[in-house]
Amino acid sequence: MTSSLSAVGLIGLGNAGLALAGPLASHYRVIGYDLDGGRYAAAQRMGVQVAECSAEVADACEVILFSLPTPDASLAAARSLTNGNMAGRLLIETSTVAPADVFQLQSLLREHGASVMDAAIVGGVHKLAAGHTTFLVGGSDEQIRRAKSVLSVAAEEIFHLGDVGSGMRAKLVNNAVAHTTMVMLLESATLAARAGIPMDVFYKLMARESGLMRPLTHRFGERIRDQDFDGGMPTANARKDSALALEMGRELGVPLFTLQASHVVYEMARSHDLDRLDYAAISRLFESWADVEFRWKNEA
């Protein structure tokens, strides 16, 4: 055992729940519950003690983790837990939900003497099962202290991002990038295919540091961080290239949704005197629109 906890509860034994169960069960006695009893055989093979109801988990476990498919499922599970003893319990929501859903859980369980924090998972079920996931955590310092030993057995990194709900906000941002990038990749791959570019060549171009990674590592991680927009590829040239790509898409009959939306930003940059600066300078538009600042310091 890695702490004085007698048992850790796990509500939800689907793919993510079972992946989480592995590292947890190697350090703790894990008591699990799922509405689908068909999940129990696999859970028991991983060393999970299955419960007959949620209340049994509440009675036995000081720390309880949720791994459920929808916000409604989490809320229903929380209501079921209140049939047991929730006084002093800490619920850790690992399901992907909205911050407002976490607040709703918090409001419900506070009346029963329990507290709620969020620990959003980044990295997929394979990393989770191997104990190498990343948790994006929102909660108080006291909640983090209680949860850390439990989360650490499944984590390669834990980022405490602020109050309750902060972890879910960061997870939604992370997923927004991944999902938008997927559409952008498919648009570009379709354009490449219609233009006669072999898919293996397209993949190799994207996989290079000069492909997908460079906007992050160089432009965001260097130029925007340091507010250094001298030299580099001018914003005017980026606008020209995106216009040419859009024209090629029209010629080849390829819909380019994300590129069309992106091109609007480069068009706006023209009227903000950004044309001669590196195209990372479009960050100034977003800083102005949302009253934020992107500059940050390197970690020591």
- Give the side-chain half-sphere CA count within 13 A for 107: 7
Those residues whose C-beta lies under 8 Å from the C-beta of residue 1, and which sit 6 or more positions away, are 27, 28
Those residues whose C-beta lies under 8 Å from the C-beta of residue 131, and which sit 6 or more positions away, are 22, 23, 153, 154, 155, 156
CATH number of 170-290: 1.10.1040.10
CB atoms within 10 A of CB 38: 8
pLDDT tens-digit readout, 191-231: 999 999 999 999 999 999 999 999 999 999 999 999 999 99
Q: Where are the domains of the chain?
A: 8-163, 170-290
pLDDT of residue 299: 61
- Give the side-chain half-sphere CA count within 13 A for 66: 32
The tokens for 297 are 């310091």
Regions of the chain with pLDDT less than 70: 1-4, 299-300
- Give the side-chain half-sphere CA count within 13 A for 133: 29
pLDDT of residue 1: 36
pLDDT of residue 4: 60
Give, in degrees to the nearest 5, the angle at Cα 86 between 80 and 91. 80
Q: Helix/strand/coil (H, E, C) string of 211-247?
A: HHHHHHHHHHHHHHHHCCCCCCCEHHHHHHHHHHHHH
CA dist., res. 190 & res. 187, Å (int): 5
What is the chain's alpha carbon radius of gyration, rounded to the nearest angstrom? 24
Give 8-163's CATH code, choosing from 1.50.10.10, 3.40.50.720, 1.10.20.10, 3.20.20.220: 3.40.50.720
Residue 100 identity (one-letter amino acid): A
pLDDT of residue 300: 45
Residue 235 identity (one-letter amino acid): T
pLDDT of residue 217: 96
The tokens for 212 are 């997908």
Note whether 281 and 229 are within 8 A (CB). yes
pLDDT of residue 5: 79
| Residues 83-111: b if buried by 16+ CB within 10 A, e if exposed | ebbbeebbbbbbbbbebebbebbbebbee
pLDDT of residue 297: 78
Nearest to 138 by CA among 164, 168, 101, 104: 164
